[in-house]
Amino acid sequence: MSRRRQKLIRKIRRNIPKIDCISGCSDCCGPVTWNRWEIEQLDVVKDVLGAKCPYSTSSGCEVYCKRPVVCRLFGVAEGMECPHDRQPARKLTRDETRELLAEYWNLPDFKVLGIPGWLNKESGQDVLQNVLDEIHHIVDAT
């Protein structure tokens, strides 16, 4: 991974608020959109094209420190609340989340591996944005 990309990834991750997750919890886990460089940083690569993340176990996330950006948003972005009411000091607004995702999608040589498979940047962005829009729609309806 290029130094420029590493620097951009660190910047994006720093802009995501931290949350104190419950040790061993995987209640937010589901299908995950991964990109190529997120997969490349893992020690063990598993098939990520499933209904649930293969790194989610009864003991929690096997790759918590290296988890993808989308996983880092759960519990800290408005509309993506933790089912256990864990919260950061300040949540990201929907606009902040969209801006952060736009930065993420515009990383150099970005390709998505996830649902339904290798996607180009534009269709990958549409998939994740549709997932986020659906989450926000469900939350707004309750």
Question: What integer pLDDT is reported at residue 136 of this predicted model?
Answer: 54
Confidence band of 5 (pLDDT split at 50, 70, 90) = confident
Q: Indicate yes or no: pTM above 0.85.
A: no
H helix or E strand, kind and range, residue 11: helix 3-14
Q: What whole-number distance in Å separates Cα of residue 30 and Cα of residue 17?
A: 21
Q: Is the pLDDT of residue 111 over 70?
A: no
Structure tokens at 126: 């549409």
Kind of pairing between the strands at 60-61 and 34-35:
unpaired
Buried/exposed 81-117: b ≥16 CB within 10 Å, e otherwise: bbeeebeeeebbeeebbeebbeebbebeebebbbbee
Please state the domain extents for the chain: 3-141
**Three-state secondary structure call for residue 39:** helix
